[in-house]
Amino acid sequence: MAIPANELHQMIQAQFPDAEIAIEDLRGDGDHYRVIIESDRFAGLTRIQQHQMVYAALDGKMGGELHAMSLQTSPKS
């Protein structure tokens, strides 16, 4: 059970409509991604809080359908 990059993008975009999102499939298997997200919603939050917001947007798929994700978040500059 893998998640296609476009589905991952849609899930993130739904929660962060202003975001600039870059997704790279690290192994070509739909199971290991590098995700970079810039969103105004991250302003004033710690990195942990930012990541928690992203994991919540993934609706429980992290650790299940999505095995590994290198996540980089930041407020828009």
Its domain, for residue 10, covers: 5-74
pLDDT of residue 16: 97
Mean pLDDT of the chain: 92
Residue whose structure tokens are 């992203």? 54
Q: Over the stretch 2-37, which tens digit does the pLDDT of each residue have? A: 889 999 999 999 999 999 999 999 988 888 899 999
Residue pair 43/77 in contact (Cβ under 8 Å)? The answer is: no
Residue 1 in this model has a pLDDT that exceeds 70:
no
Indicate which CATH number applies to the domain containing 37. 3.30.300.90
Output the CA angle 33-35-38, nearest 5 degrees.
175
How many domains, the chain? 1
Mean pLDDT of 67-74: 91
For residue range 48-69, what is the model confidence (pLDDT) as tens digits? 999 999 999 998 777 777 778 8
Q: What is the pLDDT of residues 14-23, one digit of tens each?
A: 999 999 999 9
Residue 42 has φ and ψ, to the nearest 5°, of -85, -10
The count of C-alpha atoms lying within 13 angstroms of the C-alpha of 36, restricted to the half-sphere facing its C-beta, is 4
